[in-house]
């Protein structure tokens, strides 16, 4: 039996549009939602009935399964995607005097992690097709920025764009892929997102709207032994427990040494058990998301002024389809985005905008003067962006309902129905 206990779940950082009252929760189609079954629940209960809620065997078990799934030598589990990004920045040696660059179309955490490490967070524009960091913009940025030590491309909506052009453009800088949308997807070279080839480290999130959930959680995958050692050290207060790495001479079963300023970013066994159970379902989830994307693609082909992003069939085949995002010609339809979102919400269909470009946030704006002119692709996309519901529990009827609500909100005929 499939159990979907939680209902419309907003991203913690993204308040639902407030202009109209939410319809009854049972009818509401959120833009994302977890899928939990009895096996997931049993896995959590097993931990709750045991002795160790944290620092037990479930975390290394989850790490081994994740590393195996993505094809990486190491997976280091932490308690959020944000923590994963923070530790990856530190492991890459970011700190004062260095910069790192990410893209403006992303969630705040992709850049905040650079600031947490004490480095300067920079931005370069997205590619208009992939909506990931543009190789051309990256090259131009790096030519002018010798202190840049790491690049953080985002696999936007589930599509990794780490191809040979991108790697050449990165000019040897450490590549930390923000794969928080993309577990289950594949890279242009055919490897899984998270494998050790194209990126030095890949970061994942297990928030409930993500490809799999652990409640909250995250992980870094890497092939590099030294990065993995550093990540493990930093997630647990910087404490070294392996006598082989001790600096001092004192020995004993109680001895550990603090080697760095670390954090408590440990994942609990409760979360790890849920994550491991969900991981066994990931390929089914991804296949379902792919079906949903193809239903939408077909239905939206008949709706003027609306076009799916990343529509190239090769991109479609590789994406984890975390989000189903479209470009909408709001101006052509003479409707504002706020009105369209409110009208759809009144019909019980949740939408979102992924994302407000990072330089538009008041906190970042002072660092990016004249940003609108510097990031034309991000600006162009932001003006049109809308995310429609996409999660494994959705049916084809749900997708049709979302498309119908969008068509009505835009004042356009519903695709597949004659106007009369």
Whether omega before 355 lies within 30 degrees of 0, making that bond cis, reads yes
Q: Measured from the CB of residue 220, what is the shortest distance to ligand PLP in angstroms?
A: 12
Residue 386 — φ and ψ, nearest 5°? Answer: -150, 135
Determine if 178 is a binding residue for ligand PLP (CB under 6 A). yes
Give, as one character, the DSSP assignment of residue 27: G
Closest CA to 353 of 334, 328, 318, 333: 328
Two tokens at 152?
A: 């953080």
Query: Binding to ligand PLP by residue 33, rule CB under 6 A?
Result: no
Would you say 219 or 273 has its CB closer to ligand PLP?
Answer: 219
Closest to ligand PLP by CB, 207 or 337: 207
Beta-bridge partners for 29? 349
Q: For residue 178, is it left (φ>0), alpha (ψ between -120 and 50) or beta?
A: beta
125 contacts 375 by C-beta, under 8 angstroms: yes
- Note whether 11 binds ligand PLP by CB under 6 A: yes
Calculate Rg over the CA atoms of the chain: 22
How many residues interact with ligand PLP (rule CB under 6 A)?
Answer: 15
Q: Is residue 218 involved in binding ligand PLP (CB under 6 A)?
A: yes
Cβ atoms of residues 175 and 126 within 8 Å: no
Smallest distance from ligand PLP to CB 395, Å: 25
CB of 134 to ligand PLP, least distance (A): 17
CB of 294 to ligand PLP, least distance (A): 23
Question: Any contact of residue 349 with ligand PLP (CB under 6 A)?
Answer: no
Give the residue, chosen from 82, 132, 160, 351, that forms a contact with ligand PLP under the rule CB under 6 A. Answer: 82
The interface region with ligand PLP, picked from 54-62, 104-112, 224-232, 398-406 by CB under 6 A, is 104-112
Residues 6+ apart with CB under 8 A from 15: none
The smaller minimum CB distance to ligand PLP, of residues 103 and 222, is found at 103
Contact 200, 176 (CB under 8 A): yes
Closest residue by beta carbon to ligand PLP: 81
Q: Which of 67, 87, 109, 371 is close enough to bind ligand PLP by CB under 6 A? A: 109
Query: Is 330:340 a contact under the CB 8 Å cutoff?
Result: yes
The answer to whether residue 17 forms part of the interface with ligand PLP (CB under 6 A) is no
Region of residue 218 (left: phi > 0; alpha: psi -120 to 50; beta: else): beta
Q: Does 81 bind ligand PLP (CB under 6 A)?
A: yes
113, two tokens: 């992690």
In angstroms, what is the minimal distance from the CB of 115 to ligand PLP? 14
Q: Which of 102, 110, 352, 387 binds ligand PLP (CB under 6 A)?
A: 110
The label of the residue with tokens 């997976």 reads 75
Cβ burial of 252 (10 Å; 0-12, 13-18, 19+) is exposed
154 forms part of the interface with ligand PLP (CB under 6 A):
yes
Say whether residue 285 binds ligand PLP (CB under 6 A).
no
Span interacting with ligand PLP, options 76-84, 162-170, 278-286, 366-374, rule CB under 6 A: 76-84
Q: Which residues are catalytic?
A: 210
Q: Which of 28, 62, 69, 107 binds ligand PLP (CB under 6 A)?
A: 107
86 binds ligand PLP (CB under 6 A): no
- CA dist 406 and 399 (Å) reads 11
The closest alpha carbon to 162, from 189, 122, 125, belongs to: 189
- Tell which one of 180, 378, 403, 405 touches ligand PLP (CB under 6 A): 180
The tokens for 129 are 């097709």
Interface residues with ligand PLP (CB under 6 A) are 11, 80-82, 106-107, 109-110, 154, 178, 180-181, 205, 207, 218
């Amino acid at each position: 039996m499939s159990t979907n206990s939680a209902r419309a779940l907003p991203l913690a950082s993204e308040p639902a549009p407030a202009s109209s009252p939410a319809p009854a929760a049972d009818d509401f189609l959120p833009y994302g939602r977890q899928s939990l079954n009895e096996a997931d629940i049993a896995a959590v209960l097993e931990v709750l009935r045991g002795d160790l809620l944290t620092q037990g065997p479930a975390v290394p078990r989850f790490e081994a399964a994740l590393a195996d799934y993505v094809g990486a030598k190491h997976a280091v589990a932490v308690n959020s995607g944000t923590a994963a990004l923070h530790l990856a920045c530190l492991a890459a040696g970011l700190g004062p005097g260095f910069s790192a660059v990410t893209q403006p179309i992303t969630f705040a955490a992709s850049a905040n992690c650079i600031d947490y490490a004490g480095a300067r967070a920079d931005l370069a524009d997205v590619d208009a097709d992939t909506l990931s960091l543009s190789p051309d913009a990256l090259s131009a940025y790096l030519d002018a920025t010798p202190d840049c030590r790491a690049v953080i491309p985002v696999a936007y909506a589930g599509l990794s764009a780490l191809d040979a052009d991108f790697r050449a453009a990165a000019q040897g800088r450490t590549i930390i892929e923000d794969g928080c949308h993309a577990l289950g997807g594949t890279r242009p070279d055919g490897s899984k997102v998270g494998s050790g080839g194209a990126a030095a480290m890949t970061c994942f999130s297990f928030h409930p709207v993500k490809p799999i959930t652990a409640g909250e959680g995250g992980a870094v995958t890497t092939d590099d032994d030294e990065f993995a050692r550093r990540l493990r050290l930093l997630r647990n207060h910087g404490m070294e427990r392996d006598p082989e790495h001790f600096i001092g001479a004192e020995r004993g079963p109680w001895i550990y040494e603090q080697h760095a300023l670390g954090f408590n970013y440990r994942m609990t066994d409760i979360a790890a058990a849920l994550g491991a159970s969900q991981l066994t379902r990931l390929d089914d989830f991804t296949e379902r998301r792919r079906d949903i994307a193809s239903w939408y693609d077909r239905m939206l082909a008949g709706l003027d002024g609306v076009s799916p992003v990343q529509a190239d069939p090769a991109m479609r085949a590789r994406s984890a389809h975390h989000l189903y995002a479209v470009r909408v010609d709001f101006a052509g339809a003479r409707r504002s985005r706020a009105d369209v979102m409110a009208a759809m919400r009144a019909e019980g269909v949740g939408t979102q905008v992924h994302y407000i470009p990072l330089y538009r946030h008041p906190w970042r704006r002072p660092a990016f003067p004249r940003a609108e002119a510097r990031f034309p692709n991000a600006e162009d996309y932001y003006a049109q962006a809308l995310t429609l519901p996409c999660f494994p529990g959705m049916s084809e009827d749900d997708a049709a309902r979302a498309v119908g609500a969008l068509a009505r909100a835009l004042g356009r005929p519903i695709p597949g129905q004659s106007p009369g």
